Amino acid sequence: MAINEENAPVEEEFWLFGYGSLIWKPPPHFDRRIPGWVTGYVRRFWQVRTYHRGTPTAPGRVVTLISRSYWSTLSDPHPSPPDDKVWGVAYRIEPAHVASVKEYLDIREINGYTIHYTPFHPASELHPGETKKEGPIKTLVYIGTPENDQFVGPQDPQELAEHIYRSRGPSGLNRDYLWGLERSLDELSPESGDEHVRDLAERVRGVAAREEGKGEGEREVVGRDVRREEHEGHHAFGRRESVDEVEETEKTGV
Ligand code: BEZ
């Protein structure tokens, strides 16, 4: 912690990187939200979720980050992003709330996720008068590493899509999480789409069309309608005063 002129401790600013549902469900007490990317990782739906979008007996699947060096030792049907960017958003937590939010975030393990720090590269354009772009920024990130027992590793894309289609939990359908992520990523920048997410989302739309008895021509409508519902329900990017809607975290009342 830094010290001011009166030798009193002052909180330094604190940033959190979101690459999953944090993109459209912000943490409490943020005062800035910046789209951008981190490097050295690959985003995959390789983490089991036993609550929120699944149950202990029928777990869903959510995203985690895999270090590129480890990922390159695996056999994955999906290729890696060619530009080594995992897009998401960085949130700055208001200084007055840093201590309470850190305390809240200081849960060493959340359903298999652990806390890591990584440089974040803001995608922001230069503002008038600025001569160089902001960043990189040190951000805290939750990662379900391969050692955690909820990490499932490479999946057959069609089996994974069928699994996501079938999974649901107290927070809703697993497929709404997938479609919400696809849509939120597409909205960050023209380059922020993720092929792994897009391919799974497309496959799940195909499963939904088949299961729900829709014809070929109606496929797109199945996903779009549900994605819009998901989006309109949560996509406010406003500040929230409590964390109970942040589905990846457990505590409330920061
Ligand atoms: C997120 O970036 O949305 C996230 C990922 C894993 C755990 C918690 C949040």
pLDDT tens digits along 186-215: 999 999 999 999 999 999 999 999 988 854
What is the band of 47 on the pLDDT scale with cuts at 50, 70, 90? Answer: very high
Q: Is 177 in the pocket of ligand 1 (CB under 6 A)?
A: no
Architecture (CATH level 2) of domain 14-235: Roll (3.10)
Q: Whose CA is nearest to atom 4 of ligand 1?
A: 20
pLDDT band at residue 10 under the 50/70/90 scheme: low
For residue 114, the model assigns a pLDDT of 87
User: How is the chain split into domains, by residue range?
Assistant: 14-235
Please count the residues of the chain: 254
Measured distance CA(37)–CA(32) in Å, rounded? 15
Tell me the per-residue pLDDT of 148-200, one tens digit each, with 9 for 90 and over: 999 999 999 999 999 999 998 877 899 999 999 999 999 999 999 999 999 99
Name the closest-CA residue to atom 9, ligand 1: 248
Residues 6+ apart with CB under 8 A from 179: 201, 204, 223, 226, 227, 230
pLDDT digits (tens, 9 = 90+) for 89-146: 999 998 888 888 777 765 545 778 888 999 999 997 656 666 666 679 999 999 999 9
Residue among 37, 87, 142, 143 whose CB has most ligand 1 atoms within 8 A, to mutate:
142
Distance in angstroms (rounded) separating the CA atoms of residues 190 and 140: 25
Name the closest-CA residue to atom 8, ligand 1.
248
d(CA 61, CA 159): 12
